[in-house]
């Protein structure tokens, strides 16, 4: 459905993703926060989406949903098939067809040519250096074919051996934030007045591992970094986790991220682009920081993980708060409208929010045997009218249901209508052997190049 609305002139778009940023760590969503002044300044002139929700609790499927407008079970970019086909229509492709220059600057290895996520960008800076070449991309396809054909047990064994091997080597686990912002500043400085551009930027600092500059660590009172988990696997392998110390370190990382955002908005102003550019600032998912003993994001659909930041600073739209529930996948519809290439406003809001995740294939190497049934599961969630229902199924299809009052967090009886809604969510064509379906062998996958493997290891995916 579309709604009549005045037509905007074409605008540049900066699509700024702050990976793993929680809403409760941003002052625009939580008045008690006092270290996100740059994001807050942007929010003062933005539409602030108060109830934006991701369709998947980790980067790859969340981005695939935003770029294509599809649910994860439709685009099938999942844990078992951790790559996109590259054939789906994206809003980036739409902008390119309208003459936009499209660029991506991100240190995130999930948003690379090797993962099939960048085919619609004119330029891509992934800081992979020699790892990004035609040979590594061909090897990427081959390695993914082989890995996808393995059953769960061989994947689990292989994952453990890879994990042991990676410990023998030093890994660059920096988020490359300084390099990312410097590349953004250079990109914006090279734009010409008559050019329409779309720039995707991914800042990784709110994502583990946490290594903000020391002054931020000191300002937030972090005293013992040895008790802090820096990779999602640490939830299973590290003893004596101090979740209070973890939260202080996370806040230090967010504080640093906010200053990086300030540098990007200052670069827009310095290059006289701020009056002609839409800034879409968001998180692709949040982060669990000890809620129910969980750290990370790939094993949970808790509210701090699936609720996301979303601010839209548009030169021709007034600042306001948007309280209607919003699925991030609908950015596929709205970004072209905000850019001015679509003359009618999509009715992108609905009463029901849906999402979920697949069996966590990337973590089979270190889920302990006694916790296997708790974490090697598929999850689906539905949110409507203040109620959330989660369906979690094991490898044999045995499901358990949980319903929560979103405002209080208390468990309530599962409503029949939402149970039917969550049961009706489409299934991904992935069998219990980990085979990604009949066409899995024809898709792109992860590169075997050392740099890409090291970056994955640094993020805790091996």
Domains of the chain: 2-430+444-458 (3.40.720.10)
More confident residue, 263 or 363: 263
**For 374-399, what is each residue's pLDDT tens digit?**
999 999 999 999 999 999 999 999 99
6-15, 76-85, 311-320, 388-397 — which is least confidently predicted? 76-85
pLDDT band per the 50, 70, 90 thresholds, residue 454: low
**Distance of alpha carbon 358 from alpha carbon 354, whole angstroms:** 14
Q: What share of the chain is helix, strand, coil (3-state, %, to 5)?
A: 40, 15, 45
**Per-residue pLDDT at 1 exceeds 60:** no
Q: Is 15 helix (H, G, I), strand (E, B) or coil?
A: strand
How far apart, in whole angstroms, are the C-alpha atoms of residue 414 and residue 338? Answer: 38
State the pLDDT at residue 115: 82
Among residues 405, 364, 367, 361, the alpha carbon closest in space to that of 386 is found at 405
| In the predicted structure, residue 458 carries a pLDDT above the cut 80 | no
The residues with which 198 forms a beta bridge, in sequence order, are 13, 102
pLDDT at residue 431 greater than cutoff 60: no
Does the pLDDT value for residue 164 go beyond 90? no
Confidence band for 233, pLDDT divided at 50, 70 and 90: confident
29-80 pLDDT, tens digit per residue, is 999 999 999 999 999 999 999 999 999 999 999 999 999 999 999 998 877 6
pLDDT tens digits, one per residue of 251-262: 999 999 999 999
pLDDT at 127: 87
- Measured in Å, how far apart are the chain's first and last C-alpha atoms? 43
Q: What is the pLDDT of residue 440?
A: 32
Indicate whether 119 pLDDT > 60: yes
pLDDT at 444: 33
Model pLDDT for residues 281-315, shown as the tens digit of each residue: 999 999 999 998 999 998 899 999 999 999 999 99
Backbone angles phi, psi at 52, to 5 degrees: -80, 140
More confident: 169 or 9? 9
Per the CB < 8 A criterion, the answer to whether 112 and 184 are in contact is: no
Q: Calculate the CA 66 to chain-centre distance.
A: 10
Whether pLDDT at 353 is above 50: yes
Instruction: Bin 400: left if φ > 0, else alpha if -120 < ψ < 50, else beta.
Output: beta
CB 330 within 8 A of CB 348: yes
- Is it the case that residue 140 has pLDDT exceeding 70? no
134 CB contacts (<8 Å, ≥6 apart)? none
- Whole-number pLDDT of residue 148: 58
Predicted local confidence at residue 433, as pLDDT: 32
Token pair belonging to 323: 């309280």
Tell the residue number behind the tokens 């379906």, with chain if given: 437
Provide the pLDDT for residue 380.
97
Q: What is the DSSP string of 363-408?
A: GTTTS-GGGHHHHS-EEEEEEETTEEEEEEE-TT--EEEEEEETTT
Mean of pLDDT values over 196-218: 96
pLDDT of residue 363: 75
What pLDDT is recorded for position 112? Answer: 82
Q: Is residue 216 within 8 Å of 253, Cβ to Cβ?
A: yes
Q: In whole angstroms, how far apart are CA 230 and each of 18, 162, 242, 419, 448?
A: 18, 18, 12, 36, 23
What is the distance between the alpha carbons of residues 13 and 93, in angstroms, rounded to a whole number? 14
pLDDT at residue 95 is higher than 50: yes
Question: Which of 66, 116, 96 has its CA nearest to residue 199?
Answer: 96
DSSP code at position 121: -
* CA count, 13 A, side-chain hemisphere, 10: 13
Least confident of 141-150, 232-241, 383-392, 402-411: 141-150
Three-class SS state of 426: coil
Q: How far is CA 435 from CA 59, 62, 82, 235, 432, in A?
A: 21, 21, 12, 27, 7
The per-residue pLDDT of the chain, averaged, comes to 86
Higher-confidence position of 87 and 288:
288
Q: Rounded distance, CA 298 to CA 285, Å?
A: 10
Question: Among residues 149, 109, 143, 148, which one has the least CA distance to residue 126?
Answer: 109
Report the pLDDT value the prediction gives residue 386, as an integer from 0 to 100: 96
Are residues 177 and 204 in contact, defined by beta-carbon separation less than 8 angstroms?
yes
Q: Which residue has 């659909």 as its token pair?
A: 301
Round to whole Å and give the CA distance between 301 and 268.
35
Q: Report residue 364: phi and psi, to 5°.
A: -65, -20
Q: Is 80 exceeded by the pLDDT of residue 459? A: no
Look at 144 and 201; give whichever has higher pLDDT.
201
22-26, 132-136, 242-246, range with the lowest pLDDT: 132-136
Would you state the pLDDT for residue 167?
Answer: 43
Q: For residue 28, give the nearest of 244, 254, 192 by alpha carbon.
A: 254
Whether residue 283 contacts residue 262, with contact meaning beta carbons closer than 8 Å, is answered with: no
Q: What percent of the chain has pLDDT over 70?
A: 80
């Amino acid at each position: 459905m579309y709604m009549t609305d005045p037509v905007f002139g074409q605008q540049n778009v900066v699509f700024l993703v702050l990976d793993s940023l929680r809403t409760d760590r941003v002052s625009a969503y939580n008045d008690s926060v006092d270290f996100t002044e740059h994001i807050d300044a942007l929010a003062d002139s933005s539409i602030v989406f108060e109830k934006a929700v991701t369709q998947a609790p980790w980067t790859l499927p969340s981005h695939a949903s935003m770029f294509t407008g599809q649910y994860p079970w439709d685009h099938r970019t999942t844990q078992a098939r951790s790559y996109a086909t590259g054939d789906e229509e994206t809003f980036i492709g739409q902008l390119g067809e309208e003459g936009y220059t499209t660029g991506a600057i991100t240190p995130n290895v999930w948003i690379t040519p090797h993962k099939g996520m960048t085919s619609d960008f004119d330029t891509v800076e992934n800081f992979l250096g020699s790892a990004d070449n035609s040979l590594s991309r061909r090897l990427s396809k081959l390695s993914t074919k082989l890995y996808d054909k393995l059953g769960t047990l061989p994947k689990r064994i292989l994952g453990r051996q890879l994990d042991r091997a990676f410990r023998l080597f030093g890994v660059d686990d920096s988020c490359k934030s300084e390099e990312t912002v410097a590349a953004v500043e250079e990109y914006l400085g090279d734009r010409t007045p008559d050019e329409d551009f779309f720039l995707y930027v991914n800042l990784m600092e709110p994502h583990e591992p946490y290594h903000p500059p020391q002054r931020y660590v000191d300002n937030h009172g972090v005293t013992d970094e040895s008790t802090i988990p820096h990779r999602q696997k640490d939830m299973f392998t590290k003893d004596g986790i101090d979740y209070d110390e973890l939260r202080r370190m996370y806040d230090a990382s967010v504080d640093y991220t906010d200053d990086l955002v300030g540098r990007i908005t200052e670069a827009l102003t310095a290059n006289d682009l701020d009056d002609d550019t839409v800034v879409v600032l968001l998180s692709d998912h949040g982060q669990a920081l000890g809620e129910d003993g969980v750290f990370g994001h790939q094993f949970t659909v808790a509210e701090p993980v699936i609720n996301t930041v979303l601010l839209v600073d548009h030169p021709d739209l007034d600042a306001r708060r948007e309280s209607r529930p919003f699925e991030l996948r609908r950015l596929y519809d709205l970004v072209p409208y905000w850019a001015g290439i679509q003359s009618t406003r999509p009715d992108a809001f609905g009463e029901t929010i849906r999402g979920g995740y697949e069996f966590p294939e990337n973590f089979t190497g270190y889920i302990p045997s006694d916790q296997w049934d708790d974490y090697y599961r598929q999850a689906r969630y539905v949110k409507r009218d203040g109620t959330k229902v989660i369906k979690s199924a094991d490898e044999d299809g045995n499901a358990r249901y949980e319903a929560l009052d979103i405002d209080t967090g208390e468990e309530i009886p599962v409503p029949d209508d939402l149970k039917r809604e969550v049961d009706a969510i489409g299934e991904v064509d992935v069998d219990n052997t980990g085979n990604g379906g009949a066409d899995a062998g024809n898709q792109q996958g992860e590169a075997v190049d050392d740099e890409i493997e090291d970056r994955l290891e640094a993020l805790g995916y091996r």
